[in-house]
Amino acid sequence: MRFCVVGAGFSGAIIARHLSEKGHKVLLLDERTHIAGNCHTARDEATGVMVHHYGPHIFHTADRRAWDYICQFGTFLPYVNRVKAVSKGRMYTLPVNLLTINQFFETTMSPAQARSFIAGKADRSIKEPKNFEEQALSMIGPELYKAFFYGYTRKQWGLEPTELPASILKRLPLRFNYDDNYFNHPYQGMPEGGYSAIVENILKSTNIDLRLNTKFEEISEEFHHVFYTGPIDRYFEFRLGRLGYRTLDFERIDSDGDYQGTAVINYCDQEVPYTRISEHKHFAPWEADALQKTVSFREYSRLAEPNDVPYYPIRLANEKTMLEQYIELAGNTPNVSFLGRLGTYRYLDMDVTISEALSACDRIDVALNEGEPLPAFFIDPT
């Protein structure tokens, strides 16, 4: 059979490889000049640093299948994400941990003391937090919320935290020990040769016809089925409206040696216009010291306009209603399946992206063996 896969990020590359391994003909398209989608990495000519082109990407997971899968295609070296945060002229560590609490309140509390101290700050009248702010107030109280979350979240989302879902904050741990690892997952690392080399290996030794610089809209060939990992609203020519995204602007900073001494520093005050600065050579600690020059990026968040790169789906009530209408439209469109972060309009970490693509492959096998039609979605995107 002949299939088209739109998008050469992790979602599209995994589906394309699987179909090709099963003996099918696959056309894999991407409108960009490179593979790996938003995970694309490339060596910067001026500095030799491996730059994460669309912002920092740290691989972390508790999903053994996703970890084993990706490790087949390259070496992952140890990397633990330890984020620093500036608030009102002082430097702290995030996620909020015992050092953050003791530094912020100028105390030397033990874990048990800090736990009851923060419990005393937390707003116990909020039983079921309905939004980001309520979640924060019920978890850490007003002082830490204002210092680390209010200003940053305003900048990141362009909205009051009362308008955002509580789930955004639930992503972050709160710890009463000195563990400042940003993630809780058992597997965490960075690909030695960058993410694009991993995707290149996924696509190696296959019969996939890879066409970069090519939009799906330019293709007039016939296929048994299309796997579409681009934006779902774009597939339908935005006929029901545009789903909202935040986009990012990156401002490059070149310098010698070491610019900030670590990979990521968040700027939590609302007066500072950017959200964070990432110095990319620190994402590859095994080679950082050997590099004379360094490159860092200030990150600014704003509402995506039609020609901007869509980064973070906003997913407020209006968008969810529009998404449901697109889902209905997709359900009535034969021979196309939507997947990946843009196809399902969800924020997906890389491990979830990989896991969902592998589950989709399982489902594709069953459907093709049984001669059944493929579904419009392999998961429920709502």
Q: Binding residue for ligand UDP (CB under 6 A) from 13, 15, 49, 85? A: 85
Q: Which does 57 bind (CB under 5 to 8 A by kind): ligand FAD, ligand UDP, none?
A: ligand FAD
The Cα–Cα gap between 106 and 91 comes to 13
Under rule CB under 6 A, residue 172 binds ligand UDP: yes
* Radius of gyration (C-alpha) of the chain in whole angstroms: 22
299 is catalytic: yes
Under rule CB under 6 A, residue 294 binds ligand UDP: no
Is residue 344 a contact partner of residue 377, using CB atoms and an 8 Å limit? yes
Q: Residue 101: name the closest of 89, 88, 114 by CA.
A: 114
The Cα–Cα gap between 142 and 259 comes to 33
The Cα–Cα gap between 330 and 318 comes to 19
The Cα–Cα gap between 76 and 365 comes to 29
Instruction: List binders of ligand FAD among 173-192 (CB under 6 A).
Output: none
Which one of 180, 299, 319, 356 is the catalytic residue? 299
Under rule CB under 6 A, residue 148 binds ligand UDP: yes
Site stretch for ligand FAD (CB under 6 A), options 54-62, 124-132, 167-175, 264-272? 54-62
List all residues 6 or more positions away from 367 whose beta carbon is below 8 Å from its beta carbon.
373, 374, 375
* Shortest Å distance, C-beta 40 to ligand FAD: 8
Q: Which does 38 bind (CB under 5 to 8 A by kind): ligand UDP, ligand FAD, none?
A: ligand FAD
Is residue 381 a contact partner of residue 360, using CB atoms and an 8 Å limit? no
175 is catalytic: yes
State the burial class of residue 320 (Cβ atoms within 10 Å of its Cβ: 0-12, 13-18, 19+). middle
The Cα–Cα gap between 366 and 368 comes to 6
* Shortest Å distance, C-beta 219 to ligand FAD: 8
Under rule CB under 6 A, residue 92 binds ligand UDP: no
Site string for ligand FAD, 205-224 (x = CB under 6 A): ----------xxx-------
Site string for ligand UDP, 245-284 (x = CB under 6 A): ---------------------x-x----------------
The Cα–Cα gap between 360 and 281 comes to 35
Q: Binding residue for ligand FAD (CB under 6 A) from 336, 353, 355, 374? A: 353
Q: 3-state SS string over 170-217?
A: HCCCCCCCCCCCCCCCCEEEEECCCHHHHHHHHHCCCCCEEECCCCHH
SS3 for 142?
A: helix
Which one of 43, 65, 171, 302 is the catalytic residue? 171
Site stretch for ligand UDP (CB under 6 A), options 64-72, 151-159, 189-197, 335-343? 151-159
17 is catalytic: no
Site string for ligand FAD, 231-270 (x = CB under 6 A): ---x-------------x----------------------
246 is catalytic: yes
Q: Binding residue for ligand UDP (CB under 6 A) from 65, 90, 171, 302? A: 171
Under rule CB under 6 A, residue 349 binds ligand FAD: yes
Give the containing element (helix H, strand E) for 221.
none
Backbone angles phi, psi at 336, to 5 degrees: -135, 135
Under rule CB under 6 A, residue 153 binds ligand UDP: yes
End-to-end CA separation in angstroms for the chain: 31
Return the active site residues. 171, 175, 246, 276, 299, 347, 349
Residues that bind ligand FAD (CB under 6 A): 6-12, 29-32, 37-39, 55-59, 215-217, 229-230, 234, 248, 311-312, 340-342, 348-351, 353
